Amino acid sequence: MIRVVSTISEMRQARRALPEPVGFVPTMGYLHEGHVTLARRARVECTSVVASIFVNPTQFGPNEDFARYPRDLPRDLSLLEPAGVQVVFHPEPSEMYQPGATTYIDVGPTAQRLEGASRPGHFRGVATVVAKLFNVVQPQKAYFGQKDAQQVVVIKKLVADLDIPVDIIVVPTVREPDGLAMSSRNTYLDAQQRQAAPVLWRALCWAQELWQAGERDARRLRREMVSLIEAEPLAQIDYISVAHPETLDELEHIEGPSLVSLAVRIGKTRLIDNITLGGP
């Protein structure tokens, strides 16, 4: 039986009884096949698996969707149990952020670009909650999706800079049959918007095709993606980036691997996606 715990002390106690290595899958819940893939991978590689379900208030901006972010714990548990998760940590915000807590983690420049530029403070919230969750769960390995590519860069920097003894495992993006990256936020889309949403994936595939044909001018790739997305009336570009995969510096000329990422609004819903060109 899957066990749900909601306090830090219960989680620490449950953790002590788990055979190692322990794998950890942090999530905000309202799970889909992408999250379940992370859990299954953890189950294959670790003896015990802990998942967390926590809609973390500190990573949402004041005008973002914290209050209306979808939540459905019973459904989430019915997906995690068959994936082999033994313990789910599901704290309230007041458990994670005690009154008077004032310490936050600032990861530096990689956290300020792209998502960080559009969502100020987002990665400060992410880095802080992930460090706290690592301290509570104390996993040997933690599983993150390539879907949130910049989050992976930030978390890898966090564990390297602060000597946190957790292996970060990155899992490829799980997509719908039409290429749309699975996301809890896809449930915000109405039928017409849902039809428009694969434009992100089409733009990434077009960039990849051009790159495969030998195009190395990053500005041209950005321009081509902009035109493709602008042809979709429901889509509004937030950013389109062709960047170094570790520093996230924007590139002019592509020499080594590059991270092509974008954020696009479809109606009021902000979607992100990415691919790596020339990666391992």
Q: Is residue 34 within the footprint of ligand AMP (CB under 6 A)?
A: yes
Task: Please identify which of the residues 35, 122, 244, 253 carries the catalytic annotation.
Answer: 35
Q: What is the DSSP string of 213-263?
A: TT--BHHHHHHHHHHHHHTSTTEEEEEEEEE-TTT-PBPSB--S-EEEEEE
Q: Is residue 273 within the footprint of ligand AMP (CB under 6 A)?
A: no
Binding to ligand AMP, residues 126-165 (CB under 6 A): 144-145, 147-148
- Is the sign of the CA dihedral 41, 42, 47, 50 positive or negative? negative
Task: Please confirm, yes or no, whether 32 is among the known catalytic residues.
Answer: no
| Min separation Cβ 184 and ligand AMP, Å | 6
Bridge-based pairing of strands 235-243 and 258-266 is antiparallel
Query: Residues binding ligand AMP: what is the number (CB under 6 A)?
Result: 17
Which residues, at least 6 apart from 135, have a Cβ–Cβ distance to it below 8 Å? none
What gap in Å lies between CA 71 and CA 54, rounded to an integer? 10
Q: Which is nearer to ligand AMP, 127 or 174 (CB)?
A: 174
| Min separation Cβ 180 and ligand AMP, Å | 9
Please answer whether residues 242 and 215 qualify as being in contact, where contact means their C-beta atoms are separated by less than 8 angstroms: no
Q: Which residue type occupies 111?
A: A
Site string for ligand AMP, 180-209 (x = CB under 6 A): -xxxx-------------------------
Q: Which of 22, 28, 42, 203 binds ligand AMP (CB under 6 A)?
A: 28
Candidate segments 39-47, 71-79, 166-174, 256-264, binder of ligand AMP by CB under 6 A:
166-174
Please answer whether residues 271 and 200 qualify as being in contact, where contact means their C-beta atoms are separated by less than 8 angstroms: yes
Candidate segments 160-168, 173-181, 199-207, 235-243, binder of ligand AMP by CB under 6 A:
173-181
Q: Residues with catalytic annotation? A: 35
